[in-house]
């Protein structure tokens, strides 16, 4: 136990005596050029001096030197899309329910455009194949390598047009000769575009983060003199294993600084900032035990681009009077109705919702029996105030309506993507058929009856950390009708009061004021009658 007074005042006194200001964080992140980063210049490699015809051909060249790289990738959830949980549930993109595009099963060639592999078209994909690992999507240093949206993970090998958008042929040799450690645009290709397009899914991750301003993200700001940190500066990767997953989040890092002794959770704020990060106002450090850093330091999400807040599949399928698909857009050009997908609602600069969170996400699966009489929580953060490992965390809550089996009370996996006549909803617009085909493909029972149920899904917020000047003001929470109005379990000064105390207080204050007023008035009248102002 430290001595609070000495611990607080002595350092301040000493530092003011020595007139030293804290060293700017930029000093610790010096600019690195290519020579300081790598012992190998890939433009000089003989294996790479050619025009590659396909992704796997590049991977074979990579593996000639990086012999174990593909086997490392095979162990990651970037490859398996499968995360076994301690409670026996099998999660990961391949298995979870979500309320965006619902399920990967049956829609592979579209969904797997974000897989770190090539050719995952259907269930027959070989997860042991080394040459099908996609090295370039993460290591492309040219920002020219893009995977085709419905390409099962392949980039454009010739100039291609998809949904009216041009996808120029990727020069694989050029990309292979200019590989780098992953930068923001590499991770962002999938993580900024989750849910099918920019800014849809997370709320705190979108393409504005490729070159963010300081006010958008103080760590990743890439202007002169700014920190210019990349994703892997916090998600410190070893052996291709990227730490920091929303399946196994770390809601409270009691270990603190990762120097000199690191823990297994490098992506937490306290790994770099320690457990007493506020130097000037000690009271703020008292908040850390119960409030995640993100709660105050990410005042709003989707600060530059609107994120999707509502997706109602139940209204999908409407066409205009000529039988053509409809796309309605709002004034900013964002779609609010698309025949294939239903109604959307978007929001910019969104205040997150706050919940107690101990790091465990309660996830439902396609095997869970749901209660369709109320809003179904696809996942929800576990935790409560009384439990000391829970902290108040910010979440983006994405809400919507999606199909479920009204008999078995389970969520269903509609086939969405596929050619006309395959039963795919986006081609045939028949829910019954698409669910039947999708469930059959997944090998799951389906009663034949479906309905739509409202759902909500929680996305923990970690990114878009604002400069400290923009952190939440105290009164955002310490007030009546503040951001934590609904969060129970803890006494919050400025929000809470004991009614008995308040009534006693009112009686005391009002009583004393009225009492002295009455006393004064009586004195005035009685003394006036005697014609005297004071006492003799």
Partner 1 sequence: MRRVYLYARFQRFWHWMQAIIILGLLFTGLEVHGLFIGINYEDACNLHNALAFGLLGFILLAFFWYITTGDFRQYLTEGNLLEKIMLQVRYYMIGIFKNEPHPFKKNEISRLNPLQRITYLLLTLIGLPMQIVVGFIYYYFNELVAFGMPSSWLAPIAWLHTLLAYLLIGFVVMHVYMTTTGHTLTSNIKAMITGWEEVEE
Binding site for partner 1 (CB under 8 A): 1, 4, 281, 283, 286, 289, 388, 473-475, 478-480, 490-491, 493-498, 501-502, 504-505, 508-509, 511-513, 515-516, 519-520, 522-523, 526-527, 530, 532-536
Q: Closest approach of Cβ 354 to partner 1, in Å?
A: 18
Q: Contact 110/340 with Cβ under 8 angstroms?
A: no
| Minimum CB distance to partner 1 smaller for 289 or for 375 | 289
Question: How many whole angstroms separate alpha carbon 110 and alpha carbon 150?
Answer: 4
Q: Closest approach of Cβ 508 to partner 1, in Å?
A: 4
Tokens of 217: 């993200």
For 370-385, b/e burial (b = at least 16 CB within 10 A) is bebeeebbbbbbbbee
| Minimum CB distance to partner 1 smaller for 67 or for 498 | 498
| Minimum CB distance to partner 1 smaller for 31 or for 280 | 280
Q: Closest approach of Cβ 498 to partner 1, in Å?
A: 4
Q: Closest approach of Cβ 532 to partner 1, in Å?
A: 6
| Minimum CB distance to partner 1 smaller for 210 or for 474 | 474
Residue spans of alpha helices (H) in 372-498: 425-428, 431-442
Q: Closest approach of Cβ 8 to partner 1, in Å?
A: 11
| Minimum CB distance to partner 1 smaller for 88 or for 533 | 533
Q: Closest approach of Cβ 381 to partner 1, in Å?
A: 21
Residues found in the chain: 536
| Minimum CB distance to partner 1 smaller for 26 or for 275 | 275
Question: How many whole angstroms separate alpha carbon 504 and alpha carbon 497?
Answer: 12
The residue whose two tokens read 């001595």 is: 3
Q: Closest approach of Cβ 505 to partner 1, in Å?
A: 3
| Minimum CB distance to partner 1 smaller for 371 or for 502 | 502
| C-alpha pair distances (Å), 226 with each of 103, 180, 278, 303 | 40, 21, 21, 19
Q: Closest approach of Cβ 217 to partner 1, in Å?
A: 24
Tokens of 173: 């040799």
Q: Closest approach of Cβ 262 to partner 1, in Å?
A: 25
- Percent of the chain as helix, strand, coil, to the nearest 5: 30, 15, 55
Question: How many whole angstroms separate alpha carbon 189 and alpha carbon 113?
Answer: 10
| C-alpha pair distances (Å), 299 with each of 167, 204, 230, 385 | 37, 11, 21, 22
* Secondary structure letter of residue 102 according to DSSP: -
Q: Contact 391/252 with Cβ under 8 angstroms?
A: yes
Tally Cβ neighbours within 10 Å of residue 451. 15
Dihedral class, residue 457 (left if φ above 0, else alpha if ψ from -120 to 50, else beta):
beta
Query: Quick one: which H or E segment has residue 329?
Result: strand 327-329
| Minimum CB distance to partner 1 smaller for 168 or for 493 | 493
Tokens of 69: 């790289």
Q: Closest approach of Cβ 39 to partner 1, in Å?
A: 48
| Minimum CB distance to partner 1 smaller for 98 or for 295 | 295
* Secondary structure letter of residue 280 according to DSSP: S
| Minimum CB distance to partner 1 smaller for 347 or for 490 | 490
Q: 493: which residues sit within 8 A by CB, 6+ positions away?
A: 478
Q: Residue 11 burial (CB < 10 Å; 0-12/13-18/19+)?
A: exposed
Q: Closest approach of Cβ 500 to partner 1, in Å?
A: 8
| Minimum CB distance to partner 1 smaller for 280 or for 374 | 280
| C-alpha pair distances (Å), 236 with each of 163, 232, 272, 445, 507 | 37, 5, 12, 42, 60
* Secondary structure letter of residue 274 according to DSSP: -
Question: How many whole angstroms separate alpha carbon 522 and alpha carbon 514?
Answer: 12
What are the beta bridge partners of residue 346? 308
Q: Closest approach of Cβ 255 to partner 1, in Å?
A: 17
- Angle made by CA atoms 179, 211, 159, in degrees to the nearest 5: 55
Q: Closest approach of Cβ 165 to partner 1, in Å?
A: 48
**By C-alpha distance, which of 94, 103, 97 is closest to 370?**
97
| Minimum CB distance to partner 1 smaller for 35 or for 501 | 501
The residue whose two tokens read 């897989």 is: 115
| Minimum CB distance to partner 1 smaller for 121 or for 480 | 480
């Amino acid at each position: 136990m430290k001595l609070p007074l000495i611990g607080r005042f002595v350092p301040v006194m000493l530092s003011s005596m020595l007139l030293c200001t804290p060293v700017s964080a930029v000093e610790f992140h010096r600019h690195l050029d290519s020579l300081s980063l790598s012992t190998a210049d890939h433009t000089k490699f003989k294996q790479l001096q050619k025009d590659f015809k396909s992704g796997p051909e590049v991977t074979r060249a990579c593996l000639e030197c990086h012999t174990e790289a593909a086997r490392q990738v095979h162990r990651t959830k970037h490859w398996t899309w499968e995360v076994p949980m301690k409670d026996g549930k099998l999660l990961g993109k391949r298995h979870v329910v979500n309320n965006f595009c619902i399920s990967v099963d049956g829609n592979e060639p579209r969904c797997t455009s974000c897989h770190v592999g090539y050719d995952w078209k259907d269930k027959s994909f070989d997860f042991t194949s080394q040459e099908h690992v996609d090295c370039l999507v993460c290591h492309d240093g040219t920002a020219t390598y893009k995977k085709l949206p419905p390409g099962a993970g392949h980039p454009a090998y010739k100039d291609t047009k998809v949904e009216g958008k041009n996808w120029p042929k990727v020069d694989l040799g050029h990309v292979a000769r200019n590989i780098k450690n992953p930068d923001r645009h590499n991770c962002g290709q999938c993580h900024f575009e989750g849910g099918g397009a920019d800014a849809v899914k997370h709320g705190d991750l979108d393409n504005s983060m490729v070159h963010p301003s300081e006010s958008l993200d103080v760590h990743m700001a890439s202007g002169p003199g700014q920190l210019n940190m990349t994703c892997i500066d916090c998600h410190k990767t070893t052996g291709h294993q990227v730490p920091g997953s929303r399946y196994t989040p770390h809601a409270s890092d009691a270990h603190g600084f990762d120097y000199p002794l690191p823990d297994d959770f490098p992506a937490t704020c306290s790994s770099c900032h320690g457990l007493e990060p506020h130097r000037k106002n000690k009271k703020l450090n008292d908040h850390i035990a119960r409030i995640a850093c993100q709660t105050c330091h990410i005042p709003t999400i989707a600060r530059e681009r609107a994120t999707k807040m509502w997706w109602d599949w139940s209204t999908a399928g409407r066409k205009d009077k000529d039988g053509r698909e409809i796309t309605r857009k709002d004034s900013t050009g964002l779609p609010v109705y698309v025949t294939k997908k239903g109604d959307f609602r978007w929001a910019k600069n969104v205040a997150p919702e706050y919940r107690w969170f101990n790091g465990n996400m309660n996830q439902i699966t396609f095997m869970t029996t749901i209660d369709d009489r109320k809003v179904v929580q696809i996942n929800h953060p576990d935790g409560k105030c009384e439990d000391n490992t829970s902290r108040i965390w910010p979440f983006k809550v994405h809400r919507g309506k999606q199909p479920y089996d009204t008999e078995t009370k389970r969520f269903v996996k509609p086939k969405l993507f596929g050619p006309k006549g395959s039963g795919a909803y986006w081609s045939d617009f028949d829910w019954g058929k698409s669910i039947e085909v999708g469930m059959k493909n997944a090998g799951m029972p389906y009663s034949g009856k479906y309905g739509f149920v409202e759902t909500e899904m929680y996305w923990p917020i970690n990114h878009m950390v604002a400069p400290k000047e923009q952190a939440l003001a105290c009164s955002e929470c310490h007030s009546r009708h503040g951001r934590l109005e609904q969060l129970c379990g803890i006494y919050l000064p400025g929000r809470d009061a004991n009614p008995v105390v308040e009534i006693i207080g009112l009686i005391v204050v009002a009583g004393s004021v009225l009492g002295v007023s009455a006393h004064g008035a009586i004195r005035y009248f009685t003394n006036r009658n005697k014609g005297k102002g004071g006492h003799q």
